[in-house]
Amino acid sequence: MDVTAPVAAIGRSTLRSLAALGRVSIFTAQTLRHILIPPYYPREIWHAVIAIGWLSLPVVGMTAVFTGAALALQIYAGSGRFGAESVVPQIVAIGMTRELGPVLGGLMVAARVASSIAAEIGTMKVTEQIDALVTLSTNPMKYLTAPRVLAATLTVPVLVAVGDAIGIMGGYLVGTTRLGFNEAAYLKNTFDFLQFWDVGSGLVKGAAFGFLIALMGCYHGMNSGRGAQGVGAAVKAAVVASSVLILASNYLLTEAFFGS
Amino acid sequence: MIELRDVHKSFGDHAVLRGVNLTIPKGESMVIIGGSGTGKSVTLKSVLGLVKPDSGTILVDGEDVEKAHRDTFLSHFGMLFQGGALFDSMTVWENVAFRLLRGSLKRPKAEAREIAIDKLRRVGLRSKVADQFPAELSGGMQKRVGLARAIAADPQIIFFDEPTTGLDPIMSGVINDLIREIVVEMGATAMTITHDMTSVRAIADKVAMLHDGVIQWTGPVGEMDAADDPYLRQFITGSAEGPIEAVR
């Protein structure tokens, strides 16, 4: 048995990972360049805004309302152990705006949008539509990737803002109907407590998550393998990569914003 | 004129093109024949810059493909893809007028639509098809739309990738005749890849047989049947016996 085999396996795996990181970095740089440098495709950007932003509203709204409602119940039960039930409005507000709004909203958009982008672009690749774009003097990165990444970066923060509001409303509904909070006091406590950066940091996270979601959808779609199996694998990779990147970047951004 | 000089291309360990040399004079229709997996598509995509050769030179009208300005270079080309490669999110006329709605050849929308409908008529489709989506059309109609898109900007060079694959014999005949008529009418240089011998006889001025990564035989279509090249003979007759292995 070759004693160097395990080392060689580690080396191969490391090289593969570094190569993948390099490819993603080049793809990201190219995407940014195509977003900044004309020509632009406003119609494609508008379509992407509708597909990514508007059509994700129901799923983000549903996620937020149930998350806010469950959060209010949990905080009430937990804080009751040391007699601090009155902090429910404040903790729901800060929990939704800083963490749960952007992260859960981002994950839901990743499931819905990264998969759809990867499937669409992957199918276009398999059916030679990407090659057709090139022969029609149109750069696929500029025509397909740049509008989607730009649209997601701009619309996911809006989705997060809507999700924050709906999540707080979910907490409010449970707080006032189930936990005995006074309606006006609940709202006053929420808005008096919230600071601009609580909401602002969540919106910045939303923009970062939107960028990552669309980037991963486009990257895996553009690199899709052949046939239905290739497209299926691209969709799976796009959802997994965007979800993991959302969670990892969420930690890094939280550390950067609130770490000290 | 299109010239390929000693073009090599490998994918991993698999050498697909092993020194392709081919010249297609201006205004001629060259058909490249060969079995599946012999590198026909790679040859065609190399000329378009969709695949980068490992070595060798490809010249179009004397200009090196790799050094040419991409947009200007590609604006001279039209291509009919094997499966049509129509954009399914767009209507038929938007597909046909794609090049006329953006980029350096951009026209006003109404004018682009007029040209698209005119090109659709040229390939035998009624104007009511213009507002349908590709998924609503039959395979033959999709091929015609693909052909209309390929000729929409009056290209000087047109590529046809397996133009009759998946069509019934009558529709294949219709597409072959259309291709021949359009190429002659436009005076375009045409490069077609196919393994359909009926297409070859209908479309070609010259034929090149690609096998094992090199051009095994090339000559006028009229000399094809009399040629004594064993690879060409086996391909034309469709025999399982001969130098080309049936199991690949």
Q: Please, which pLDDT band fits residue A130 given cuts at 50, 70 and 90?
A: very high
Mean pLDDT of chain A: 95
Total count of domains within chain A: 1
Which residues of chain B make contact with A141, given a CB cutoff of 8 A?
none
Residue-wise pLDDT tens digits, B10-67: 998 899 999 999 999 999 999 999 888 888 989 999 998 889 999 999 999 888 888 8
Beta-carbon separation of B87 and A129 below 8 A: yes
Residues 79 through 108 of chain A touching chain B, CB cutoff 8 Å: none
Task: Please compute Rg for chain A using Cα positions.
Answer: 22
The pLDDT of residue B123 is 86
Cα–Cα distance for residue pair A113/A52, rounded to 1 Å: 6
Highest mean predicted confidence (pLDDT) among A124-128, B32-36, B238-242, B243-247: A124-128
Q: What residues of B are in the A interface, CB distance below 8 Å? A: 45, 48-50, 70-71, 74-75, 77-79, 81-83, 85-88, 98-99, 102-105, 149
Cross-strand bridge partners of residue A28: none
Angle between the N-to-C axes of helices A196-222 and A5-36, in degrees from 0 to 180, rounded to the nearest 10 = 110
- What ipTM was assigned to the predicted interfaces of this complex? 0.87
The pLDDT of residue B72 is 80
pLDDT one-digit tens code per residue, B169-196: 888 888 899 889 888 988 999 999 998 8
Confidence at B244, pLDDT banded by 50, 70, 90: confident
Q: What residues in A contact B87, CB-CB < 8 Å?
A: 124, 129, 132
pLDDT at B104: 80
Name which of B197, B211, B216, B204 is nearest B248 in CA terms.
Answer: B211
Q: Which residues of A touch B79 (CB under 8 A)?
A: 132, 135
Distance from the B56 Cα atom to the nearest Cα atom in chain A, whole angstroms: 22
What per-residue confidence (pLDDT) applies to B230?
87
Q: Is A128 on the interface with B (CB under 8 A)?
A: yes
The mean per-residue pLDDT over the stretch A191-202 comes to: 95
A50 to chain B, any CB pair closer than 8 A? The answer is no
Nearest neighbour of B83 by CB, restricted to A39, A127, A138: A127
User: Domain for residue A74, yes or no?
Assistant: yes
Per-residue pLDDT band for A244 (boundaries 50, 70, 90) equals very high
Continuous segment of H or E residues that includes residue A242: helix A227-258
The answer as to whether A25 is a domain residue is no
**Residue at A189 is within a domain:** yes
Q: Would you say residue A17 lies in a domain?
A: no
| Residue B66: how many other CB atoms lie within 10 Å | 10
Query: Is residue A26, in this structure, part of any structural domain at all?
Result: no
Instruction: Please identify which residue in the block is written with the tokens 């990972």.
Output: A17
The pLDDT tens digits of the residues spanning B60-73 come to 988 888 888 877 88
Q: Which residue of B has its CA nearest to A139?
A: B71
Residue A39: cis peptide before it, omega within 30 degrees of 0: yes
* Res B247: pLDDT: 57
Q: Output the pLDDT for position A1.
A: 62
**Owning domain of residue A124:** 41-258
What lies within 8 Å, CB to CB, of A242 at 6+ separation is A110, A114, A212, A213, A215, A216, A217
Taking residues B96-117, what's their average pLDDT?
92
The answer to the question of residue A8 being in a domain is no
